Structure 1
Amino acid sequence: MGSPSKVVRPEEVLESLKNDGTIDALRMKIIAQLKANEDMKKTTMMMVEHSKVLNTPGAEKKTKRELFDALRQELETPVLEKASKAVWDLILDNGGLGKEITGTVEKVFYRLSGVDMMPPPPPAAGPHQEKDDMAVDECEKSNASDPSSSRKRPFSDMSRKGAGSVTNGSGPDQPELSEDGN
């Protein structure tokens, strides 16, 4: 499958992502998607329109710099909180950018650990899985009705008799054999 792997610390993965410019590229994609977020734009505009700073008497007499500083003081925290939530939504999204970030981090991790090939993704349970499960159930039913099929002891029988004892499997009333065969 792959070559031997070494233990890779998260800091090593992060350092590699920083050094090859991946972090900067991902940051730019996040910023572009955040700028394109219409809900974020609308929310910010509404917050500015309803601002106490702009809606207080005498606001028109203040300089642009005074208004800007007062708006920043009033709105910076709530706007940044909304932006932070939007960024986390992008990062954790299993479809778009989040999937890209996860894939990129995994590739770097596998490269640094010396693994040649990434393991295949786990099979998704779907209609095919249900059919497979039904087939296994049918097979188990047919084996249960067939007395000639081999029988397995339940785990509870094994734990009651002890780890060192083994039965010959011919039936419940057969004598037990110990590990040395006696």
Structure 2
Amino acid sequence: MGSSVITPEDVLESLMNDGTIDAIRLKIINQLKANEDLKNNTIKMVEQSKVLNTPGAEKQTKRELFDSLRQELETPVLEKASKSVWELILDQNGLGKEISEIVEKVFCQLSGCEPPLFPPSSSEAQPEKEREDTPTSSSKKRSFSEMGKEDVDEVAQVSADEPVHLRK
């Protein structure tokens, strides 16, 4: 058999075709809806809105108020929601872990290899209770927001340097 390259696009297409992307999107939406901090922050932003606290606001139509509020708050609200989505996606104990496992499984199915591609690290192999009591190097980990552009570029460059060749 000849070797073929399984691209990220191949994996994404498979996930889109089997409905996995839609299921993940629904989970993200449901978790955002349940995020009390995000709700409370949005409510606070509306309550402190310049549009609503401007004299004469009560004389505007609902449509005028809505359009003005949207213009004022759409970007900051969407930025906070976007940050929350990234936190969900990158959470290695929740949805992020599930996404990683799904992507790995689909990649393995397409390439004909056996999962797991990457064996669990020693900390993942420990029972949950032991991990809670064991000091880890998590203080050295950076969140997505702490990563600089050069870090992301470096990861992208390393990933692009060597394609993955697997037998199909």
TM-score norm. by structure 1 comes to 0.64
**Does the aligned pair in 2 maintain the 1:17–1:23 contact within 8 Å?**
yes
Pairwise CA distance, 1:125 = 5.5
Structure ranking higher on relative contact order (CA contacts 8 Å, 6+ apart): 2
Q: Quick one: which of 74, 80, 83 aligns to 1:82?
A: 80
In structure 2, the CA distance between the partners of 1:10 and 1:52, relative to structure 1 (3 Å rule), is same
Q: Residue in 1 aligned with 2:162?
A: none
Higher helix share: 2
Q: Residue in 2 aligned with 1:103?
A: 101
Residue aligned with 1:54, SS: coil
**Could you give the per-residue CA deviations for residues 51-83 of structure 1, whole angstroms, max 9, x where no partner exists?**
000000000000000000000000000000000
Equivalenced residue count is 125
Residue aligned with 1:95, SS: coil
In structure 2, the CA distance between the partners of 1:120 and 1:51, relative to structure 1 (3 Å rule), is closer
Q: Residue in 2 aligned with 1:138?
A: none
Q: Residue in 2 aligned with 1:113?
A: 111
**Does the aligned pair in 1 maintain the 2:104–2:115 contact within 8 Å?**
no
One-letter identity of the residue aligned with 1:8: I
Q: Residue in 2 aligned with 1:30?
A: 28
Distance in 1 between the 2:71 and 2:83 partners?
20
Q: Does 1:56 align with 2:64?
A: no
**Could you give the per-residue CA deviations for residues 73-114 of structure 1, whole angstroms, max 9, x where no partner exists?**
000000000000000000000000000000000000000011
Q: Residue in 2 aligned with 1:39?
A: 37
In structure 1, stretches of 5+ residues that fail to align are 129-182
**Does the aligned pair in 2 maintain the 1:5–1:113 contact within 8 Å?**
no
One-letter identity of the residue aligned with 2:104: E
Distance in 1 between the 2:89 and 2:95 partners?
6
TM-score norm. by structure 2 comes to 0.69
Q: 1:12-27 maps to which residues of 2 (within 5 A)?
A: 12-27=10-25
Identical columns (%):
70
Q: Residue in 1 aligned with 2:151?
A: none
Q: Which moved more, 1:5-14 or 1:74-83?
A: 5-14
Q: Which moved more, 1:4-13 or 1:49-58?
A: 4-13
**Could you give the per-residue CA deviations for residues 128-177 of structure 1, whole angstroms, max 9, x where no partner exists?**
9xxxxxxxxxxxxxxxxxxxxxxxxxxxxxxxxxxxxxxxxxxxxxxxxx
Q: 1:121-160 maps to which residues of 2 (within 5 A)?
A: 121-124=119-122
Distance in 2 between the 1:123 and 1:74 partners?
46
In structure 2, stretches of 5+ residues that fail to align are 127-168
**Does the aligned pair in 2 maintain the 1:6–1:114 contact within 8 Å?**
no
